[in-house]
């Protein structure tokens, strides 16, 4: 099953983001507590291989770490000051994969129950302020970092897709990969690509997510 979803993830993201550039890819069962990505290889917790538990953590963790092959592995970023550029993209890639593999209804349910709920709860309890671009030193705890860097950015990407439409959104991702392959991209680089591909001025969309008013 782990192999199956590793292969399916590579194929899905090849089609949507651009070609995986290496001749091999390894999914390794380890004692690592969750998942960890490296170029060409990912570590997946052996806890997720337990047949007595639901297989969702295994699938989602593999999909997330495979997505990192593009978001950090191919398009690099500053993981201290702009961590959202890989974690948010990998987190939203989970929903994209579920949509392609299991259908829009399943993807919507997953997104609502994980990403959207996480952000709404964190904002309502004032654990986060909704701004996704922060340096590591500016986060108070995992309760701040997780909902911001993973889920906050994923929610923003979902809303961007809704605003621009499927074709433009995925054209943006392919262009982003093509333009910044093996380079270090910054937040403004992604914003510029969005505006170039869409032909729209998007300051009003991005500003609430990227900076405090």
How would you class 10 by CB atoms within 10 Å of its CB: exposed for 0-12, middle for 13-18, buried for 19 or more? middle
CA distance 147 to 13: 24
DSSP string, 37-97: EETTEEEEEGGGG-TTS-SHHHHHHHHHHHHTTTBTTTEE--TTT-THHHHHHHHHHHHHH
In sequence order, what are the beta bridge partners of 75? 71, 183
Tens of pLDDT along the chain (213 residues) come to 899 999 999 999 999 999 999 999 999 999 999 999 999 999 999 999 887 666 789 999 999 999 999 999 999 999 999 999 999 999 999 999 999 999 999 999 999 999 999 999 999 998 888 899 999 999 989 999 999 999 999 999 999 999 999 999 999 999 999 999 999 999 999 999 999 999 999 999 999 999 765
Enter the DSSP assignment of 132. -
pLDDT of residue 53: 63
Q: Which residue has the tokens 């961007």?
A: 160
pLDDT of residue 56: 87
Q: Model-level pTM?
A: 0.95
pLDDT of residue 149: 95
Q: Going by C-beta distance under 8 Å and a sequence separation of 6 or more, which residues neighbour residue 10?
A: 20, 25, 66, 69
């Amino acid at each position: 099953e782990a192999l199956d979803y590793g292969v399916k993830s590579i194929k899905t993201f090849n089609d949507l983001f651009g070609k995986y550039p290496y001749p091999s890819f390894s999914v390794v069962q380890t004692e690592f507590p969750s998942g960890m990505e490296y170029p060409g290889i990912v570590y997946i917790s052996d806890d997720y291989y337990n047949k007595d538990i639901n297989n969702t953590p295994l699938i989602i963790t593999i999909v997330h770490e495979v997505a990192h092959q593009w978001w950090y592995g191919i398009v690099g970023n500053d993981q201290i000051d702009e961590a959202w550029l890989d974690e948010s993209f990998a987190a939203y890639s989970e929903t994209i994969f579920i949509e392609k593999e299991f259908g829009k209804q399943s993807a919507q349910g997953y997104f609502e129950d994980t990403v959207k709920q996480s952000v709404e709860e964190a904002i309502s309890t004032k654990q986060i302020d909704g701004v996704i671009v922060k340096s590591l030193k500016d986060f108070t705890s995992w309760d701040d970092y997780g909902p911001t860097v993973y889920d906050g950015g994923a929610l923003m990407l979902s809303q961007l897709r809704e605003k621009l439409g499927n074709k433009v959104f995925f054209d943006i991702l392919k262009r982003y990969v093509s333009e910044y392959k093996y380079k270090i991209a910054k937040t403004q680089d992604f914003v510029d690509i969005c505006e170039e591909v869409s032909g729209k001025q998007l300051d009003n969309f991005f500003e609430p997510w990227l900076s405090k008013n």
